[in-house]
């Protein structure tokens, strides 16, 4: 989806807001889902950041048995795919840190509370370091168009989830109430909680067809249609629709998710 089309939709939505506020609110919420889901390839299975497709959990049968954690998995993704609440997975598997899953870890999908953590694949000492992804803050090659927009970091915490085809962005740890900053100057396309799985969400449009997304916020400090400057406080870090306080941050170029680490300045 072209950004020009997105702006046209936003403009039409703003025009209708005066006469039909309820329809406008629904249209803006739908726009957010279109921007985050419709612009990406529909052949890609929905990850934590693309949760508005038609595979609603209500259509699936309750899960049973076990599941072995694969690269790129998150508790939310596993829970949605197997029609299980995240809280249930945490409880029955005795998980102490929901943000940390290990590749090869076996999770129970049903049953009563576990007296001990879920079993780990045997023959691998627990102390043995796992094949870890490159350090989250080791930036990949700089994007060729990174300098067309002046970028800044949206939060100061460490990166706890890197970019891949499933996450479509990065997760930055923080404390509830920490500031969330606009990564670049732009216009608020959406501010609300109408996109399932992303909690309190803000979308900003920027020059040259770029869009940024800020999810799981505690409090939203801007409104749809508002202009903001780079570094302006637009929200506070929260834990809405996720397992620990964090900011999920995406950069999209002409509707396609790109690695924020190729655009954000080094720190």
Question: What per-residue string of b and e applies to 223-257 under the rule 16 or more CB within 10 Å gives b?
Answer: ebbeebeebeebbbbbebbbbebbbbbbbbbebeb
Q: Return the minimum-mean-pLDDT range out of 52-56, 78-82, 83-87, 214-218.
A: 52-56
For domain 3-39+136-262, the question of CATH label 3.30.70.20 is answered with no
For domain 57-108, the question of CATH label 3.10.350.10 is answered with yes
Give the pLDDT mean for 120-129.
43
What are the structural domain ranges in the chain?
Answer: 3-39+136-262, 57-108
Q: Higher pLDDT residue, 236 or 41?
A: 236
pLDDT of residue 52: 38
Q: Determine contact, residues 235/218, Cβ cutoff 8 Å.
A: yes
How does pLDDT run across 127-152, given as a tens digit for each residue? Answer: 444 454 444 445 589 999 999 999 99
Q: Using alpha carbons, select from 218, 225, 213 the residue that is nearest to residue 179.
A: 218
DSSP code for 59: G
pLDDT of residue 251: 97
């Amino acid at each position: 989806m072209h950004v020009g089309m997105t702006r046209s939709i936003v403009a039409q939505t703003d025009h209708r807001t005066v006469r039909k506020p309820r329809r406008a609110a629904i249209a803006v919420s739908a726009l957010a889902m279109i921007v985050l889901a419709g612009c990406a390839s529909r052949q890609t299975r929905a990850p934590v950041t693309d949760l508005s497709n038609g595979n609603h959990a209500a259509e699936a049968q309750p899960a049973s048995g076990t599941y072995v954690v694969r690269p790129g998995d998150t508790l939310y993704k596993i829970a949605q795919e197997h029609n299980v609440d995240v809280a249930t997975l945490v409880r029955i598997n005795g998980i102490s840190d929901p943000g940390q899953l290990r590749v090869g870890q076996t999770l129970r999908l049903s049953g009563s509370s576990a007296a001990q953590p879920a079993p780990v694949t045997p023959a691998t000492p627990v102390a043995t370091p796992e094949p870890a992804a490159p350090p989250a803050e080791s930036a990949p090659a700089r994007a060729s168009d990174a300098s067309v927009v002046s970028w800044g970091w949206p939060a100061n915490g460490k990166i706890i989830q890197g970019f891949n085809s499933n996450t479509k962005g990065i997760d930055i740890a923080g404390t509830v109430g920490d500031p969330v900053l606009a990564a670049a100057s732009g216009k608020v396309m959406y501010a609300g909680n109408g996109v399932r799985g992303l909690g309190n969400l803000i979308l900003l449009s920027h020059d040259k067809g770029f869009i940024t997304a800020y999810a799981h916020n505690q409090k939203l400090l801007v409104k749809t249609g508002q202009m903001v400057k780079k570094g302006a406080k637009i929200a506070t870090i929260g834990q809405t629709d996720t397992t620990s306080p964090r900011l999920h941050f995406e950069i999209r170029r002409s509707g396609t998710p790109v690695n924020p680490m190729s655009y954000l300045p080094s720190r």
